[in-house]
A and B are shown apart, each in its own frame.
Chain A
């Protein structure tokens, strides 16, 4: 254990000590991918669905920076537009499961009686359904596309957040500041939402950041097996699936770029999430 003595540093250097260089790199990668996807309609050099059969499977060059796929579509433009669908799903799932999980976790952790026990059992039960399996069951019920898996995965990731929030609330409940508010006669909802909830946000945020990576990978996998985003909409998972024919023919690039982006984003998200939880973990223990 190293004892970090925090000395105030001047100006911008303060930010340098906030995160490790690796986390800064990860943040930069994530920000770049998000911005490029967000502004794809403005920034993308080509229409992502424009088919150019005279220019099939071209290598990287000045015309097409990353090359073209088996239908002559510009890979860079498809990657940028694909990012919009590929990032949207995990964003909704993470926001939804975090909000729901926090609420359920707060209730479960605060109530000492049967309600906490029942909710705890419910979380246990939900853990028995792997997220990807739940997503596939939902697709079987409601049809292919993004709606069903997003709904199912939001529910599947609730226990991960709720369990954590519950254990944190149980720990907070007995701390002096909560006791003090109780003695002073503050209403429970005000104490829980106004004073306890903010203390959970960092730890839960770290967990949700990690969840983002898992959800992104799972949704991409669903699109890859043809159950998620349907063609011709571009999506990183679907792009990898489309380029399997080219891959077996020895053209690696059309599959390589989307695979690289998926791995880069997941690594970046993991690095950021672990950095966050390391920092908070140091504080908690």
Chain B
């Protein structure tokens, strides 16, 4: 975080070198964007290799591995061999798999006897709604707690900080159990199971799961906001803005918070991946039929094609969000000049 603080002082009169650097800077945005996009593709490619070839770590007959828990009848073995192309060399299997994924053919689920893409698409809305609601809670509650803490020195700050330390240590599944105990069993305000009928009922059903899912990140965003704002509040430009007679609200909104956004944005890549993975646990606890629960069920029912697809989706989401964050960051903070690595 401190790396971005050192604004590079222009080197005094170095003639050609300085001019060359200025020229570089003018070309860099395109280069920067291209670099990020290439690195995105490379990362996705290597990740797909890792996900696909992980299967080859399991010793023994791949057909029997894929059919675990089911009767290995000759015709079943034959079907699985044909479906996965197991009689072909490994690199050809991989290319077929990758080509399929790029064209939307993600293989077939053994449990559902359906295309994996269909199974996934059917489950996607629930997970997206859950993650979106959690993101709303994280943004609103996290920013709010962080701002309040940094603007109230003394008791308020200490109280919020201790609460955040405790909240940040509560794993999502423990938060889920605690919320159910308090708000479902105890007070009866929210349901503890199912995803409701859509509209307000859906939001009502997803409130507890989203809170449980978000609790770690609410604490994280609040802490980052607080420390980032504290850092900004001490800076001279804030003092100048205050001495010019701007209202406190406008100083905080336009001079403190805007500059404090960088570090908050940086954590959002980790955040999205974390939410998607943790949704496996939360969806299972609250009986929501989303991607997360599908992942757990597929591991349980030894349906490897589905597991592979979901792992790939989550990794891709993480890498994509990180790339988008890297591309947006120079727009928010021009000091992260295009071309300078932000991390």
Contacts and interface: CB of A to CB of B under 8 A. Distances in A.
Most chain B Cβ neighbours within 10 Å, of A128, A130, A256: A128
B295 interface: yes
A267 B165 contact: yes
Interface of B is mostly: helix
B171 A217 contact: yes
A132 interface: yes
B278 interface: yes
B51 A130 contact: no
B137 interface: no
Given A139-B299, A140-B304, A128 B318 contact: yes
Contacts of B281: 221, 224-225
Interface residues of A, number: 39
B172 interface: yes
B304 A136 contact: no
Given A136-B295, A141-B54, A270-B165, A221 B185 contact: no
Interface stretch (B95-103, B108-116, B307-315): B307-315
A225 B174 contact: no
A80 interface: no
A263 B177 CA distance: 13
Nearest to B299: A140
B174 A262 contact: yes
A247 B180 contact: yes
Given A128-B47, A130-B318, A248-B185, A259 B174 contact: yes
B185 A225 contact: no
Contacts of A129: 47, 50, 315
Most chain B Cβ neighbours within 10 Å, of A129, A220, A225, A262: A225
A7 interface: no
A141 B55 contact: yes
A136 B292 CA distance: 11
A132 B277 contact: yes
Given A124-B43, A250-B185, A262-B174, A267 B280 contact: no
Interface of B: 2, 43, 46-47, 50-51, 54-55, 57-58, 165-166, 168-174, 177-178, 180-181, 185, 192, 273-274, 277-278, 280-281, 284-285, 295-296, 298-300, 302, 304, 307, 311, 314-315, 318-319, 322
Given A141-B55, A225-B285, 9 more contacts: A130-B277, A136-B307, A140-B307, A141-B54, A141-B58, A247-B177, A248-B185, A252-B181, A267-B165
Interface of A: 124-125, 128-130, 132-133, 136-137, 139-142, 213, 217-218, 220-221, 224-227, 237, 240, 244, 247-248, 250, 252, 255-256, 259, 262-263, 266-267, 270-271, 285
